[in-house]
Amino acid sequence: MIAVPSSDFLKEFTIYADKATDEKETIFVQRSNDKNLVVMSMDAYNEIQKKLYETQK
């Protein structure tokens, strides 16, 4: 997992987006108002959703 300030994330969006998709990295975006967020690839998100679904059966 990579933690990055929102200003850096915005400046280098393409680099972080490529890290998320190509390197399967999870990006933790730190915001000054404590409204932090996580960026991950769609594949990573789908894997998590599948695991959650399977555990709820």
Confidence of residue 28 (pLDDT cuts 50, 70, 90): very high
CATH number of 2-55: 3.40.1620.10
CA distances from 33 to 6, 15, 20, 29 (A): 11, 24, 24, 12
Tell me the mean pLDDT in the region 23-41. Answer: 96
Quickly count helices (H) and strands (E) in the chain.
3, 3
pLDDT at position 51, please?
96
In sequence order, the β-bridge partners of residue 27 are: 2, 39
Domain boundaries, the chain: 2-55
Indicate if the pLDDT at residue 50 is higher than 90.
Answer: yes
Tell me the mean pLDDT in the region 34-50. Answer: 96
State pTM to two decimals.
Answer: 0.83
Indicate if the pLDDT at residue 57 is higher than 80.
Answer: no
Which residue's entry shows tokens 């969006």? 13
Average pLDDT score over the chain: 96
